[in-house]
Amino acid sequence: MPQSITKVSKVSIVPLLWRNSQLEQNLPFDLGNGLSIENMSSLIQSDLHSTVEEYQREEQKKFKDWSVCWVHRYEGSYSDSGRKSLTLLWYVLAHLRLIVPHKTNLGHHLQARLENARLVAEHSSWTLDTIWLEDCERASSIEIKMEHLEKLKSWLPWVIKFQASWEDFYPLYISVYWSEKAYLEEDPKIRHLLRVMALEALVSSEKDYGKISLFLPRLKKLLDAGTDLYEQYRCDLEPDLPKLILNDVVEDVWKLRHKIAHGDKIPSDWISQRTRGGTRRTLTYADTLGEASASMVALAWRKIIDSGLQATFANKSRMEKY
């Protein structure tokens, strides 16, 4: 008779970066399925001494800066690597990035057992990846608010289903994968390329790949041609962003993607033409197209999830009939 596997309480912890100051007043925030956002500072700091044999003192000091964190509690065996828990957190953070730009990622994480209300550390990572935001995203990324978390909570049943059955939603998986990859790229040209590829995963199929005559109408049907792409980024710190209408730039967004992918030079007037003052420098028209692609990806995903269109865009035949 096979022996039963002993289950123990485990937790994955990821520090939350760049949050609204009012957020801490509403914690802990429970998203369901073992996921929450909590101030973990007292628990982490009180238990550093219990894991001194597992971590060098210099490494332990890094925990002391952690306060508000993403937390996933789950049951696992002693030998459970926790990979599934981290994968769930990757999906959660990726979907929050579609709601509001943010810099939190899995580069910093701690995985531990919970024994008698104490943390027994099993694994940690300190290789925090740089998240590269577009200029229009920077101000809004500081303001992760309760409304964003409430939105994410309403999406969580989908996120859980998506993680468990990602192969059934393969075009959507490829799209969110490219979107997340874009945030890890320092080169803005590559970020733009990956984001338009994320859009193509949603609204293009193999037989019409690369055809602007099909890509544009489908995208405009998913996102209204009159959509203001900067609207989602206006906030208290950046209230005066001008209007950027999808229909005015979408064709050039597509053209820029193909020039980058095929090694062509970006038109000189796209580089010389100044569009607006940014947070760090004056932006060119090419910069604006990069911001537009970031906005389009986020808006396309919100439309699909909020309208329950995941099954439609998971199947190319259904997508083409949409």
For residue 25, what pLDDT is reported? 86
Is residue 308 located within the same domain as residue 194? yes
Residue 131 lies in a domain: no
For residues 175 and 312, membership in a common domain is answered with yes
Residue 239: pLDDT above 60? yes
Q: In this predicted model, which residue has the larger pLDDT, 44 or 308?
A: 308
pLDDT band of residue 52 (cuts 50, 70, 90) is very low
The mean predicted confidence, pLDDT, of the chain is: 89
Question: How do residues 105-135 score in pLDDT, each as one tens digit?
Answer: 999 898 988 888 788 878 888 887 899 999 9
Provide the pLDDT for residue 273: 92
- List, for residues 263-287, the tens digit of each pLDDT value: 999 999 999 999 998 888 899 999 9
Check residue 287 and give its pLDDT.
96
Mean pLDDT of 206-235: 88
Tell which residue, 65, 60, 9, 62, has the closest CA to residue 39.
Answer: 65
Last residue in a domain, options 74, 104, 126: 126
Range with the poorest average pLDDT among 36-50, 95-109, 215-229: 36-50
Of the listed ranges 63-67, 191-195, 311-315, the least confidently predicted one is: 63-67
In a domain, 31, yes or no: yes
Residue 243 shares a structural domain with residue 294? yes
Please say if the pLDDT value at position 142 is more than 80.
no
Same domain? 234 vs 285: yes
pLDDT at 7 over 60: yes
Q: Are residues 121 and 169 in the same domain?
A: no
Q: What is the mean pLDDT of residues 209-214?
A: 73
pLDDT band at 235 (very low <50, low <70, confident <90, very high): confident
Domain membership flag for residue 150: no
Q: Is residue 132 a part of any domain in this protein?
A: no
Give the domain-ending residue among 70, 104, 126.
126
* Cβ-contact 117, 157 below 8 angstroms: no
Mean pLDDT across 215-224: 92
Mark whether 197 and 271 lie in a shared domain: yes
- pLDDT for res 258: 94
Do residues 186 and 304 share a domain? yes
Domain hosting residue 122, numbered range: 8-126
Contacts of 117-124 with C-beta under 8 Å, sequence gap 24+, read 118/46, 118/47, 118/50, 119/11, 119/43, 119/44, 119/47, 119/50, 119/51, 120/47, 120/50, 120/51, 121/51, 121/54, 121/55, 122/10, 122/82, 123/81, 123/82, 124/55, 124/59
Q: What pLDDT is attached to residue 51?
A: 47
Could you tell me if residue 289 is inside a domain? yes
The predicted model gives 40-50 an average pLDDT of 68
- Looking at residue 210, its pLDDT comes to 66
Same domain, residue pair 25 and 105: yes
Instruction: Indicate if 216 and 120 belong to the same structural domain.
Output: no
185 and 89 share one domain: no
Domain presence at residue 3: no
- The total domain count for the chain is 2
* pLDDT confidence of residue 50: 46
Is 136 contained in some domain?
no
169 and 317 in a common domain: yes
Domain assignment of residue 148, yes or no: no
The answer on pLDDT for 246 being more than 80 is yes
Statement to judge: residues 249 and 107 lie in one domain: no
Q: What is the pTM of this model?
A: 0.92
CA 28 to chain centre: 21
Neighbours of 158 (CB within 10 A): 17
